[in-house]
A and B are shown apart, each in its own frame.
Chain A
Amino acid sequence: DTGVSQNPRHKITKRGQNVTFRCDPISEHNRLYWYRQTLGQGPEFLTYFQNEAQLEKSRLLSDRFSAERPKGSFSTLEIQRTEQGDSAMYLCASSLKSGNTIYFGEGSWLTVV
C-alpha cells in the first residue's frame, strides 16, 4: 500500500519538550497538508505545501509550530515548547495538483503530560 504514511503514530511528551512528526505523502502528489483533530471535532487546517513551497498557514499555527518540506517530498511538523493544549491527532494529507481528492494518513497522536 502506498498511501500517506505518518510517524510516529503515538507520542507522549512532557510539557515544554519539542516534538517532530514526519509525513510521507503518496508518491507524485505535490500538495501536502497538515490538519489537527481533537476528540469530538472535525479536522482543522494548519498549513499546506505545493512542492517545497509553504503556501498557506492557518492562524491556528502559532509561532511554536513549524512545518517544512525541504525537497518537495516528505514533510515534518515540529512543535516547540509543547503545551497540554497541543494534545491532539496531527493528520497529514496529500493530493495531486490537478486533482481535488485529498487523501489522509493514519495520523500521529500527541499527548502532552
Chain B
Amino acid sequence: EDQVTQSPEALRLQEGESSSLNCSYTVSGLRGLFWYRQDPGKGPEFLFTLYSAGEEKEKERLKATLTKKESFLHITAPKPEDSATYLCAVQARGAGNTPLVFGKGTRLSVIA
C-alpha cells in the first residue's frame, strides 16, 4: 500500500529562519510527487511536481527536492505569509490514472 509520512507535524519559525519539511514515501513505482500549500478553510494550492530522483524545483522562497525515498521542501528566509499547512502527495504508476495519496501535512507558523 502506498504511504506518505510528513514530519514534523508542526513547525514554528521566526521570520527569516530557514528550515526544511520532510516527506517520506513508499510507492509501487513513482509517477510523481506533489507539494501543495493549504490555508485554513481552503483547498490545497498546487506548488510543485517532481518526477525523478535528483530533480529540484524552486518558487520564490520554496525549493523542493526528491530522492528515491523522500522529498524535502526547503523554506529560505520565510515570511509570516508563508504560514500554512504544506501537504505532500504521491501518485503511483498504473495502467490508468491512479489517485494521489496524501500525507497529513506539516503546519508551518512563521512568527514576525
Q: In the complex, A93 Cα to B34 Cα: how many Å? A: 14
By secondary structure, the B interface counts as strand
Within 8 A of B (CB), among A50-64: 50, 55-56, 58
Q: Looking at the complex, which of A13-21, A65-73, A74-82, A103-111 is the stretch in contact with chain B?
A: A103-111
Q: In the complex, A33 Cα to B98 Cα: how many Å? A: 11
Q: In the complex, A33 Cα to B44 Cα: how many Å? A: 13
Report the interface size for chain B: residues with CB under 8 A from the other chain: 24
Chain B 19-38, CB-CB to A under 8 Å as 1, else 0, gives 00000000000011010100
B contact residues vs A (CB 8 Å cutoff):
4, 31-32, 34, 36, 41-46, 49, 87, 89, 91, 96-97, 99-105
A contact residues vs B (CB 8 Å cutoff):
4, 6, 31, 33, 40-45, 48, 50, 55-56, 58, 91, 93, 100-107, 109
